[in-house]
Structure 1
Amino acid sequence: MEAPAAAPTRHVLFLNWRDTRNPEGGGSEVYVERIAGELVRRGHRATLLCATHSAGPAEETTTDGVRVLRRGGRHTVYLRAALVYLAGALGFGPLSRRHGGRPDLIVDVGNGLPFLSALYARRPVIALVHHVHREQWPVVLGRWLASFGWWVESWLAPRVYRRCQYVTVSAATRDELAGLGIDPARVAIVHNGTPDMTVGPVTRSPQPSLVVLGRLVPHKQVEVALRALARLGAELPGLSLTVAGQGWWEPQLRQLAADLGVTDRVRFTGFVTDTEKRELLAAAWVALTPSLKEGWGLTIVEAGAVGTPTVAFRGAGGVEEAVVDGETGLLADDVDDFVAKVRLLLTDDAYRSTMGEAARAHAARFTWPVSGEKFAALVTRAANVPAGAPVKQMEQSYLLP
């Protein structure tokens, strides 16, 4: 019997507003580049087009073999992506045949605002959505811009991508997309993998300690962590908080720390390397994710991988899957409950230790090779659907978390 023919390789173009070298990059960017790298490992070609920034050149190739093109700025990257693609179709620019050829498929990443590539690209499009931004628009933008952003995300995008395959990272986001009228049968779940969190001999801090890891922007709600520190400080005199990450909201957070009288208990690290991140998470007693909404909660499983449980908010999207409530961490209903749950974990050594070990086992379930295999199958499936043709109902195996 002849062996089955290998699946043809594809050139996949990822459109994302940022990349991991961008100072404002976060978990969405890690996901895109790790998935792109997994596609390259399986013989595909992957190109990422994102916005320019001072920390990266206009073009480079990552160590995973992903070609990165940086064009346009924070707001103009969407238009530049369309122009680069159309120029390639006409035989010019970095996507022309002379420079590697046009893509066979586009992965259009919608971080609130999608690239709307299904309007102009005569190629199959996968719409990748980490989470729906209903609650975040008013926090980040003024009233009118927030209304426009929500209109694009909730009304325009579902119509532009009405014939496209969707991918998201959690069942919670799939449910949110259903609320926008997107048939769950068109939405595949491909979880984040857990990065290698191997660390050397790192001991827990001798005094109670908390850590928050992520971009310093309003919707991450780091203020909740600062208020928890202030409220628990009298009970736990040695308690400290490390805020690891960078972002334009840092001055406001520093001012709040001063107003609360906890400046001497808070350390703002700025950007941290992967090694520093692993060491900070491994040394902390409890990790905090007070974010308003997350598609998944990558930092939660990263903390879990080194045995550190997390406290987060219930109803904050994918965190309800990244945290197994009561087993690998705790989910809070409001700020008072958040503080109470932090207190519980800091004061009950046995409970915290047991939960940390469960978090380690839970994190080990999620790997990038498995996620890459699932995404590669979707690429093959979507690439075989003619551009503009409706995506048929998916096999049940793709729909399960």
Structure 2
Amino acid sequence: MCPASLDRLGNFVRARPAETASQLRVLYLSWRDRQHPEAGGAETFTERTAEVLTDLGHRVTVFTSRFPGARPVEDHGTVRVLRQGGRFTCYVAGLVYVARHRRDYDVIIDVQNGVPFWSPLLAGSPVVNVMHHVHRDQWSVIFGPRLARFGWFLESRVAPRVYRKCRYVTVSQASRVDLVDLGIDEDRIDVVYSGNDRPTALEDGLVGEKSPTPVLTVLGRLVPHKQVETAIDILADLLPEHPQLRLDVIGTGYWHDTLVRHATQRGVRDRVDFHGFVDDGTKHRLLARSWLMMVPSHKEGWGLTIVEAGLHETPSLAFAHAGGPTESIRHGSTGLLAHDTAEMREQVALLLRDDELRTAFGRAARTHALAFDWASSGKALELTLKSVLGLAPRPVQPVARAVRLRTIGEILADRAEQTNGAGEVEAQLVAQR
């Protein structure tokens, strides 16, 4: 350990009672919490890792925004949740809270969803910036041209300067590359992969039954950049070939009415089931019956819904340019990545027709999904926090994996070769007997 780290460790121990010296006081600053109507994967990451940190003996507080019906103070298990301010004013309220409680926390986790909380300006403790993905193109999708340019200016120019002395955490190698492109030093970026919730039924070895008729699924917030319209369009285009095809849309958001109108205009409103916000049991039941999970989002830091669906042997399709799905999906093994909507439509059509290939993808998707759990994610984040405080060495970072998008023809050719090879081996064994 370097002299500076030793000094920091000494100061940390002297400032805390001996019996709590190993306990960190952690503050999360997050735009939303898990109960917020528009909560998504970023909020799941915050809540699940916070729970693991408390299981490891740390004290964790989540500061977030209020929403209709929300309590100002609430305990989510062992995690204290404080709510102040609204959609935008929570950032000001959060900064004021940081200033008033400068000495009450050992480390601050500032979750940047486009705009961060700017906590380094007033914090009295080290700050870790958690950023799931860069929002370069999403600003123009959500806001008008002027506000989009201003938002991107804050994200790409101002924030990197304010957080120039801070450690960053992101959830995929693709997002890490995007952060480096913003000018953030690679040696200040840690990758902590998202975990995966495992329903009790899965722990008992139960996967759930697939629907006897084809069902496509989209799961997530209903906002413009998730591009659920793409899934509706693919449903409409493939309906003549698959007249029993349906689309489950799970989630809520302000874009709901626009999507309903789009489904009506495409003539498939009666084939799209808008389930809204559902409990975990219903969510997993719907994922289990699904044939394919579609993630047509323009950008994803990781793609939590992909591994959630994988637990139920449901393969996923996403766009390669979305970033994170290039890791949460093993192209040609657990699902498929597309360059554009036309290619995704072709891929969906193939997997709806080919039961054997879809089943093989689903089994591989479950194996891949089981490799991720929140306990590991929380421990990885803890190691980052301790390394920032000089209490542990810097975490070893995963090695980036090059992804080559094989065409459908190549995937089918490889599969045919494997099948023929297996057949030849079986024939030889029979001959020997």
Give the TM-score taking structure 2 as reference length.
0.85
- Report if the CA contact (8 A) 2:249-2:272 is conserved: yes
1:168 matched to 2:170: yes
Q: What is the CA deviation profile of residues 77-110 of structure 1, one whole-angstrom value per residue up to 9, with x for unaligned ones?
A: 0100111122234xxxxxxxxxxx7111100000
Task: After TM superposition, list the pairs within 5 Å mapping 1:44-55 onto structure 2.
Answer: 44-55=58-69
2:268 aligned partner, one-letter code: V
Give 1:54 shift. 1.9
Give 1:371 shift. 1.0
Task: After TM superposition, list the pairs within 5 Å mapping 1:170-189 onto structure 2.
Answer: 170-189=172-191
1:296 matched to 2:310: no
- Equivalent pairs, count: 378
1:164 aligned partner, one-letter code: C
Structure 1 consecutive aligned stretches of length 4 or more whose deviation exceeds 2 Å: 197-202, 398-401
1:310 matched to 2:316: yes
Partners of 1:192 and 1:315 lie apart in 2 by 19
- Report if the CA contact (8 A) 2:208-2:312 is conserved: no
Matched residue of 1:261: which SS? coil
Higher helix proportion: 2
Matched residue of 2:397: which SS? helix
Matched residue of 2:260: which SS? helix
Please point out which of 131, 134, 142 is paired with 1:129. Answer: 131
Q: What is the CA deviation profile of residues 346-382 of structure 1, one whole-angstrom value per residue up to 9, with x for unaligned ones?
A: 1100000000000000001111111111111111111
Runs (5+) with no aligned partner, structure 2? 1-18, 401-433
1:81 matched to 2:94: yes
Q: Which residue of 2 aligns with 1:115?
A: 117
Matched residue of 1:315: which SS? helix
Q: Which residue of 2 aligns with 1:105?
A: 107
- Report if the CA contact (8 A) 1:314-1:331 is conserved: yes
CA RMSD of aligned residues (A): 1.7
Partners of 2:134 and 2:69 lie apart in 1 by 29
Partners of 1:338 and 1:13 lie apart in 2 by 41
Q: Which residue of 1 aligns with 2:363?
A: 357
Partners of 1:150 and 1:223 lie apart in 2 by 25
Please point out which of 209, 218, 238 is paired with 1:203. Answer: 209
Q: Which residue of 2 aligns with 1:282?
A: 288
Q: Greater RCO between the two (CA within 8 Å, min separation 6)?
A: 1
Q: Which residue of 1 aligns with 2:155?
A: 153
Partners of 1:109 and 1:396 lie apart in 2 by 20
Partners of 2:264 and 2:64 lie apart in 1 by 37
Q: What is the CA deviation profile of residues 281-338 of structure 1, one whole-angstrom value per residue up to 9, with x for unaligned ones?
A: 1001111000000110000000001100001111101011000101000001111101
- Report if the CA contact (8 A) 2:230-2:296 is conserved: yes
1:345 aligned partner, one-letter code: L
Give 1:194 shift. 0.9
Give 1:6 shift. 9.6
Task: After TM superposition, list the pairs within 5 Å mapping 1:9-24 onto structure 2.
Answer: 9-24=23-38
- Report if the CA contact (8 A) 1:296-1:322 is conserved: yes
Q: Which residue of 1 aligns with 2:218?
A: 212
1:397 matched to 2:396: yes
Partners of 2:21 and 2:137 lie apart in 1 by 41
Partners of 1:399 and 1:141 lie apart in 2 by 35
- Report if the CA contact (8 A) 2:319-2:338 is conserved: yes
- Report if the CA contact (8 A) 1:185-1:399 is conserved: no
Q: Which residue of 2 aligns with 1:92?
A: none
1:265 matched to 2:271: yes
- Report if the CA contact (8 A) 2:207-2:311 is conserved: no
CA distance change for structure 1 residues 198 and 346 in 2, over 3 Å: closer, same or farther?
farther
Give the TM-score taking structure 1 as reference length.
0.91
Give 1:398 shift. 2.9
Partners of 2:208 and 2:21 lie apart in 1 by 44
- Report if the CA contact (8 A) 2:384-2:395 is conserved: no
- Report if the CA contact (8 A) 1:36-1:66 is conserved: yes
Partners of 2:143 and 2:335 lie apart in 1 by 32
- Report if the CA contact (8 A) 1:22-1:55 is conserved: no
Q: Which residue of 1 aligns with 2:7?
A: none
Partners of 1:139 and 1:52 lie apart in 2 by 25
- Report if the CA contact (8 A) 2:333-2:361 is conserved: yes
Partners of 1:398 and 1:163 lie apart in 2 by 19
Partners of 1:380 and 1:279 lie apart in 2 by 39
- Report if the CA contact (8 A) 1:204-1:282 is conserved: yes
Q: What is the CA deviation profile of residues 239-291 of structure 1, one whole-angstrom value per residue up to 9, with x for unaligned ones?
A: 01011111100111000111110011111011111111101010011110000
- Report if the CA contact (8 A) 1:59-1:69 is conserved: yes
Q: Which residue of 2 aligns with 1:348?
A: 354
Q: Which residue of 2 aligns with 1:389?
A: none
Matched residue of 1:203: which SS? coil
Partners of 1:55 and 1:180 lie apart in 2 by 38
- Report if the CA contact (8 A) 1:307-1:359 is conserved: yes
Please point out which of 229, 237, 240 is paired with 1:234. Answer: 240
Q: Which residue of 2 aligns with 1:369?
A: 375
1:14 aligned partner, one-letter code: Y
Partners of 1:6 and 1:55 lie apart in 2 by 36
Identity %: 46
Partners of 1:234 and 1:374 lie apart in 2 by 48
Q: Which has the larger radius of gyration?
A: 2
CA distance change for structure 1 residues 302 and 262 in 2, over 3 Å: closer, same or farther?
same
